Structure 1
Amino acid sequence: MADSARYRLEELTPVVAALHKSGYFEKHELKVLVETMHDFECKIKSTTLKKEDWKRYIDHQLKVEQLRKIRQATRRIKKLGEDEGRLARKGIERHIHFLYSRAVHKFKGATELWEDWIDFCQSSRSYKRLSKVIHEALSYNPGCTSLRLKATEWELEHNENPTTARVLFQDGLRKVKGNAAKILWIHYFQMELQYVHKLKSRQEALGISLSGEGDDEGDEGSNAEETAVREVLGGALAKLVLRNALSAFPVDLSMRRALLSVLNRHTIESAEGLEEIICCELKEKLGKMPEAWDVVAQHYYAKALGQKPWTQALKEATLAFEEGLHHAPHVVDYYVDFLLQQLNGQEQGKGDPSMNSGCSKDDSQQEMLKLQLRNICKQACKEGSCSDSVVLCWLDLERELGTLEETAGACALACRLRPLVPQTWMRHLSVETQLSQGTNSRFVKLEQVCLDALRHLLESPAVWRACMDVMLECGVVFKPVQELMIQLAMRGVQSSEMGELMGEFVSIVGRMDGIDCARSFFRKITASALSLHASFYKGVIKMEEEEVVSNTDAKRRKRISSLYEAAVLKAGQEDIELWVDYARFEYRNGGNYGHLLWRAEKAGHSAVDLDRLWQKGIR
């Protein structure tokens, strides 16, 4: 191993000598450099060689070359003979190429090494070597898309050889499948559009025009050539690539979206015809997919917005969405999202101000959008072809634009359509609460809505919170709701939020119907409950403690102690603060609080944590 490393370094002796003689590096610097290179050479000869070892070696040499270039620009370098001067200037660069060659032949499938080598060839202007590297990289990795794209970019941008670039694309499309082929088709199409743009720019710069008229009879060959060029300029090759790409992926929506995006970035005369091909494909072959119509509508809108007033661009998008509704009813979700974006001003500022009379939408346009949204959502909800977001959007618009009675009717329909969505019931409860003020018939309706909401969503904290707010505002506890709370307790309460709500509900019963009713209700819950969270007991204890403030009766203190005892037995192992609160209560009332802290420690809680919480409470 050491002999092999020494042999490799001996080959670099002329380079090291030239670097020293020319003044790029001092003698001691070269000594350190050679020792470091020796260590790297020994490392890459080991049996546990990894790609990272090569990368570290190459990175080291790249830094050395970078330092050489800096010193060349900042130092006075000695002029040497032609051969020695070339060695000093190019020796490290050649060694880096040699390292890349050794690395990629050791790890032929390491595409990142090949790509790094290609990038280095470009940065060092080693163009002859670059062509060989690209050919070799593709021969070992024919299915690597990134390598092939680098190769085609090189041929098109540097060599100005679109024919070879096309051959590379076509060869890649024969050898790869799936997403890799999709990427190649998209870039192939983009290349053809770029080629058309370059040809047109060249003709404009040279003042060439293709009239298509021959002056003599012998101009037939020239006319044929002009016709071919005219077809290319008209996008014939791009159109052919586009049709083949669409045929290769007949039902791929993401590819069609990407192709439209490519077209939007290129302004050529034939783009409109190519866009229409893609849009027709989306409508005919993917017409059952709602997202396809969204792509079409968004494209029409973006295209029109740069040329026409905003209202006209909106109309074109609307027509596309309306057409899509006949093929796929769930297009309405995308339709509503699009209009909401317009309403929220996310698309402002894209049009021509001179054509749009200012990009910001005035009040009449905002009102028009809201009415349009309202009608679309209403129709979709009546047909039952809508998502939860469309239903909620409709309810919000009805609340803003309609009367309370109209909104209540909409909420009732929404609750029938989406009985398991908490937000629909919460909106319904809010509207019915407003309508019930001073009206007995509506008060009965409000109670029924509460019951219906809880029957459908008995375990929803949001619905329980809304119903409790309703009862607080009305100043009455609905008795059937208490029965539903007992049913919930029978299922077992595991969450802290639900336990806290149950405790609050018991407090509401005490506030509305008296403390005795609340205690009776509490006993019913604990008697039927499968399991109860500690937060439930905390809520009830808080209610009892507030009652003690006005009347320090021993029986009530005993009742609170029994509540704490039940709570620690049920949830003492999970909740350390419950023990500390219990101990503080006994401490304030002259009880045996030390015994409780001892029990808490036996239940598995840290004595340090108990002492910290206790001292915090005492302070």
Structure 2
Amino acid sequence: MAEVVEHRVEEMLPELEQMSRVGLFTKEETGQILTKRKVYEYKLRRKQKKKEDFLHYIQYETNLLALVRKRRERTGYSFKKVEIDNNIVVRIHRLYKLVLYRFPEDVKLWLSYIAFAKQLKAKDLVSRQYTKMLQVHDKKPELWLSAAKWEFEENNNPDNARGLLQRALRFNQTSQTLWQEYYRMELMYAEKMRKRRSVLDLETEGESDPVLSGGVAFIVFQQALEAIPDNAGFVIQFLPICLLFDFTSKQEQDICALLAEKFSDNPLAWDALARRHLARKSTSKNDAREDERKFHEVYGEAIGVVTSGEVWKLYINACLDLIQKAGKQSLQEKRLERALLVFEEARDVGHLTPDLYAKWTDLLQKTGSLTEALEVCCAALEVHPGDITLWEKKLSLMITVGKDLNMIQDTLDGARKNIPKKDSWPLVRMVLEHSIASNAAEDTVKLLEKSMIDPSPVSQPAKELYLEFEYLQHGMQHARKVFSRICEYKPVSEDVYRSYVSMEMAQPKPKMKLVRAAYEEAVREHGALSPNLWLDYIKFESCGLEGRLEAVGNIHFRAVKALDGEHNQDFIRRYTLMQTGCP
């Protein structure tokens, strides 16, 4: 092993001597480079080869090459590149080949080497490495696409790109992405050739050429359908690609005819057929209006053919997209009116889902039609009484339009009968916030009292809000009574105990006996899982004139006994830091 390393070191000496002689590095620096390389070379001679050793060596040599180039720029010395720069590059190539030979399964290594070759602008090397990588990783379509894209866009070699994609499809025949990108590449090639012929004034001669007209791309499309048959989504994905080019109108018609004939019962097919009219670049306002008319016409035909609710959902979402894209106010109002008509038609045939009802409500709210929005919400809940989002929207609208608090409370009661009580907190909170804002203290207390006996997801935040409400409204005396009442309804969250303690401690003369009782109740209920609670209890007894330092040891003992596992270790660590004065 030593003989091989020494031989490698001897081969480096002329290179390092040249670095020193031409003034790029000092003798001390070249000595450090030699020492570093020697360490790396010994690591590479281990019996158990490690990928990290190769990568560290490669990174070191790459950084050294960058430093050499920077110092050349600074000193203006551009000679001896063969003896210095090229030797470093050759060493990096050798290291990459060694690591790839031992770890060919690592895709990142291949891509790293290819990126290095691209930096050197070594196009032949990039092609060779792509080929070698794909021999090992032939089942990864994304790598084939990366190679083909480089060949077509950077190496300007469409034949190589086409060959790569054809080979890729032999290994990955059912890859939808490969077929789509192959189709795109053939159209891009046809466009490039058409532009070239346009420059040479040969447009007329090229019109009948199958390559220039996109015929080859259409053959790819047909082969794709043979490889992946009866897949409407797959066929639809070719349509946006086709619409990117101005010479593919015939192909667009053929794809649309196929969708209409073979997938007439598929809502997604009709959505694609309709939206293609909106994807065109209109040259005038009349063309844009005509395209939009055709869009609605296609969907009008679709809802007559497809009886499922999915087609209505797609139609409504497309109409909402149109509203978002409308620039002028007049156009937006026109599209809004049409969307509302579509919502009504979908409702009449019974194909509005809760989600679509919610979108209808939102649309009416944006236009300021709050009363109509509330009517829609009420109608929606007759059909979908178990949807919590619709109940939330109804309550919000009732509050906005100024409905009576009793009506709002009745609506909340109706909602809680139709949805699981454990999910009703957003509704309860909304009504409570409105009740508090309306200064309806009696109604607020009634609802809070009722919520305390609900499941935990409702009762826990309700108890905390109840305590805070009484403290702010009537002061500490009432808060103490409410806290005592809350403690009767277990479980009580840790946050409730903390809120009560902070209220007591904020008083001019806090009642320490009550604070200790609250801490005792809290650790009894949450002490097994909360190191923070025990630490706060200890801090309380350790600070101030009212604290009892003699109780700290007992609290610590109880905490260690109550906490298990990680909580125990966390408590001991943080208690030790607290004792030493660390935060």
Is the pair's TM-score, using the shorter chain for normalization, greater than 0.5? yes
Distance 1:77 1:526 in 2: 84
- CA distance in structure 2 between the aligned counterparts of 1:23 and 1:478, rounded to whole angstroms: 88
Match of 2:425 among 436, 461, 471: 461
Tell me the equivalent position of 2:413.
451
The aligned residue for residue 355 of structure 1 is none
Cα deviation for residue 294 of structure 1 reads 4.8
Contact 1:23–1:78, Cα closer than 8 Å, also in 2? no
Q: Matches of 1:199 and 1:408 in 2, distance apart?
A: 60
Residue 236 of structure 1: CA displacement?
0.6
- Relative to structure 2, which stretch is displaced further, 115-124 or 15-24? 15-24
Letter matched to residue 8 of structure 1: R
Inter-CA distance 406–52: structure 2 relative to 1 (3 Å threshold): same
Q: 1:451 to 1:137 in 2, by over 3 A?
A: closer
Are the aligned partners of 2:453 and 2:459 in contact in 1 as well (CA < 8 Å)? Answer: no
Residue number in structure 2 paired with 1:550:
none
Pair 1:301 & 2:281 matched: no
Aligned residues of 2:144 and 2:168 also touching (Cα < 8 A): yes
**Mapping of residues 309-324 of structure 1, within 5 Å:** 311-324=289-302
Aligned-pair distance for 1:235? 0.3
Q: Distance in 2 between matches of 1:86 and 1:443?
A: 88
Tell me, yes or no, if the aligned pair for 2:452 and 2:463 is still in contact at 8 Å.
no
Distance 2:222 2:394 in 1: 52
Which residue of structure 1 aligns with residue 60 of structure 2?
Answer: 60
Query: Residue in 1 aligned with 2:34?
Result: 34
SS in structure 2 of the partner of residue 231 of structure 1: coil
Select 2:461's aligned residue among 479, 497, 501.
497
The alpha-carbon deviation at position 234 of structure 1 amounts to 0.6
Tell me how far apart the structure 1 counterparts of residues 313 and 471 of structure 2 sit (CA, whole Å): 43
Report the AA paired with residue 330 of structure 1. E
Question: Matched residues in 2 for 1:296 and 1:310: separation?
Answer: 16
Asked if the contact 1:454–1:464 (Cα under 8 Å) also holds between the matched residues in 2, the reply is no
Q: Which residue of 1 aligns with 2:117?
A: 121
Aligned to 2:358: 392
Following the alignment from structure 2 to structure 1, what is the Cα–Cα distance between the partners of residues 112 and 520? 70
Call closer, same or farther: CA 1:253–1:570 in 2, change over 3 Å.
Answer: farther
| Gap regions ≥5 residues in structure 1 | 80-84, 212-225, 349-359, 544-556, 613-619
Asked if the contact 1:192/1:238 (under 8 Å) is kept, the reply is yes
For 1:103, which of 99, 109, 116 is the aligned residue?
A: 99
8 Å CA contact retained: 2:273, 2:298: yes
- CA deviation map 1:495-520 (0-9, x unaligned): 53132356689999x99xxx99xx99
Change (3 A) 1:50 1:411: same
Structure 2 residue 50 is matched with structure 1 residue 50: yes
How does 1:188-227 map onto structure 2 within 5 Å?
A: 188-211=182-205
Q: Which amino acid aligns with 1:239?
A: F
User: Which residue number in structure 2 is paired with residue 219 of structure 1?
Assistant: none
State the alpha-carbon separation in 1 of the partners of residues 401 and 27 from structure 2.
94
Higher relative contact order (Cα pairs below 8 Å, separated by 6+ residues): 1
Q: CA-to-partner distance for each residue in 1:137-191, whole Å, 9 max, x for gaps?
A: 333333344543454345445665433432221111111355xx33322332222
What is the aligned residue count? 546
- Structure 2: how far apart are the matches of 1:109 and 1:537? 57
TM-score, with structure 2 as normaliser: 0.72
Cα displacement string for residues 406-452 of structure 1 (whole angstroms, at most 9, x for unaligned residues): 55543322222332333433443466678897xxxx99866643431
CA gap 1:389/1:130 in 2 versus in 1, 3 angstroms: closer
User: Retained in 2: the 8 A contact 1:294–1:335?
Assistant: yes
Mapping for residues 52-451 of structure 1, pairs under 5 Å: 52-73=52-73, 74-76=75-77, 86-88=82-84, 90-153=86-149, 155-157=151-153, 160-176=156-172, 181-211=175-205, 230-250=209-229, 259-264=238-243, 266-270=244-248, 272-280=249-257, 293-304=270-281, 308=285, 311-326=289-304, 327=306, 328-343=308-323, 345=324, 347=325, 360-362=327-329, 364-398=330-364, 406-429=372-395, 448-451=410-413
Change (3 A) 1:47 1:377: farther
- 2:10 corresponds to 1:10: yes
- Kindly provide the amino acid, as one letter, of the partner of residue 57 in structure 2: Y
Mapped to 2, the partners of 1:305 and 1:569 lie a distance apart of: 71
Give 5+ residue unaligned stretches, structure 2. 504-510, 561-570, 579-583
Letter in 2 for 1:44: L
**Over alpha carbons, which structure has the higher Rg?**
1
Give distance in 2, aligned partners of 1:503 and 1:93. 73
Given that 2:65 and 2:88 are in contact with CA atoms closer than 8 Å, whether structure 1 keeps it comes out as yes
- Classify the secondary structure of the residue corresponding to 1:109: coil
Instruction: Please tell me whether the aligned partners of residues 378 and 394 of structure 1 are also in contact (alpha carbons under 8 angstroms).
Output: no
How big is the alpha-carbon RMSD for the aligned residues of Structure 1 and Structure 2? 5.3
Q: CA deviation at 1:46?
A: 1.6
Q: 1:137 to 1:536 in 2, by over 3 A?
A: closer
**Aligned residue type for 2:4:** S
Cα distance in 1 between the residues matched to 2:163 and 2:549: 87
| AA matched with 1:372 | R
Q: Give the Å deviation of 1:466.
A: 4.2
After superposition, give the CA deviation of every residue in 1:319-341 in whole Å (9 maximum; x if it has no partner).
Answer: 45445545342244444444444
Cα distance in 2 between the residues matched to 1:596 and 1:405: 66
How many Å apart are 1:52 and its aligned residue? 3.0
Displacement of 1:201 in angstroms is 1.9
TM-score, with structure 1 as normaliser: 0.68
Match of 2:565 in 1: none
Q: How many Å separate the matches in 2 of 1:397 and 1:478?
A: 32
Counterpart position of 2:581: none
Q: Distance in 2 between matches of 1:406 and 1:289?
A: 33
8 Å CA contact 2:183, 2:221 repeated in 1: yes
CA deviations 1:104-126 (Å, max 9, x no partner) are 22222333333333333343344
Report if aligned partners of 1:493, 1:533 keep a CA contact under 8 Å in 2: no
Q: Which residue of 1 aligns with 2:568?
A: none
User: Contact 1:532/1:570 (CA < 8 Å) preserved in 2?
Assistant: no
Task: Please list the CA deviations of residues 347-398 of structure 1 after superposition, one character each: whole Å capped at 9, or x if unmatched.
Answer: 35xxxxxxxxxxx312x33332333333333333454433433212323445
Query: Quick one: structure 1 residues 97 and 475, their matched pair in 2 at CA, closer, same or farther if it must change by over 3 Å?
Result: closer
> Partner residue of 1:615?
none
1:215 maps to what in 2? none
Q: Secondary structure at the match of 1:230?
A: coil
**Percent identical:** 22
1:24 Cα deviation from its structure 2 partner: 5.2
Tell me the distance in 2 between the aligned counterparts of 1:542 and 1:66. 61
Q: 1:316 to 1:60 in 2, by over 3 A?
A: farther
Instruction: Name the SS of the counterpart of 2:309 in structure 1.
Output: coil
